[in-house]
Amino acid sequence: MKLEELFLKESEKYVEWIINIRRELHKYPELDFNLPKTTKIITDILESLNIEYKSGIGKSGILAELKGKNQNITIALRADMDALPIIENTNCSFSSKHHGYMHACGHDAHTGILLGVAKILSENRNHLPCNVRFIFQPAEETTGGALPMIKDGCLDGVNAIFGLHVDPSLEVGKIGIKYGAMNASSTGIEFKVIGKSCHGAYPSSGVDAIVTTAQIISSIQSIISRNVDSRDSVVISFGKISGGEAENIIAQEVTCIGTMRTISNDTKENMKIRLKDMVEMISRAYGATGEIIFKDSYTALINHDEYVDIVKENGNSFLGKENVFIETLTNMGVEDFSYYLEKVAGVFFVLGVKNKNEKIVAPLHNEKFNIDESSLIVGVKMQILNILSAYKKLENL
């Protein structure tokens, strides 16, 4: 029996086990780096499977590893563990017991899948061809748990890495892949316009910071249409403006806060220059002073095409070509798996969890979000196939 057939056959024994683990995790959602219940569930399972692990990686992450026959090759899988500050409204028997918190982005499913892979491989470790590292990461939804984990050595010795995310826009039994840029980078923008306050009846004696800001915001959108290659992608959105004291006083100061999403690092840096010029020069033209600061967040997630090929081929053979969706558009949302892919070759793909017949259709970050749990074993099997295929690729290098 081929190794792939062996592991896939073994996987069927643990379908209910994986579902139950996901449900247990779902009941106890926690936020950011504060994940005591979640990490206790995970470490208890790892101990029961006799898998060595280290906790407290990247503050509250967990790093576990199974040794294989060829210990010169290590392939990593990553799952994020944190939840969201949302009140659940699914009426599930395993709904959140932590009021105000919910696994509305499917990280309970990601962790359940990773534990499922660990369970199957540990039960068949004598057949494992290489080392497999399991990365349980905190804080994907907030400040980004990937970088602290990388700093603490989670990628040391890793040759390739795979990650996945549930996707409620895809029917269960399908996966989605993307060559090249899959997710955008994010940069926070904050600019301030300082004018001169005066009575609203005599605006000529002051400098109106609100009028100046309005002109800046309108003009900034022309940067995208006239300074960015039409084949590239940039999104600039401002979500908060504050300034002024009263309806009859010309505002002296206005602060505007927003975000910029880009795919190319070069484009991001060029956009910063143009935004700085726009804020400072328009302010000067109106007699005001303009200041701008940038806060870079997650980088763009760029898949390695040779590993996208691996997922595609495994999806074609396991699920059928009709169930492998090749995305052509970049998701302008962010994902901190990007940091792993900057250090190690690998791929991030999406797993269909939608089921119209069961009315499982709610989007991510929604109070009614849920998954078709038959997707869990699909994710487990895909990741096992990815490990075996990546090993063959790396062995032949």
Catalytic residues: 298, 373
- With helix as H, strand as E and coil as C, how does the chain read? CCHHHHHHHHHHHHHHHHHHHHHHHHHCCCCCCCCHHHHHHHHHHHHHCCCEEEEEECCCEEEEEECCCEEEEEEEEEEECCCECCCCCCCCCCCCCCCCCECCCCHHHHHHHHHHHHHHHHHCHHHCCEEEEEEEECCCCCCCCHHHHHHCCCCCCCCEEEEEEEEEEEECCCEEEECCEEECEEEEEEEEEECECEECCCHHHCECHHHHHHHHHHHHHHHHHHHCCCCCCEEEEEEEEEECCCCCEECCEEEEEEEEEECCHHHHHHHHHHHHHHHHHHHHHCCCEEEEEEEECCCCEECCHHHHHHHHHHHHHHCCHHHEEEECCCECCCCCCHHHHHHCCEEEEEEEEEEHHHCECCCCCCCCCCCCCCHHHHHHHHHHHHHHHHHHHHHCC
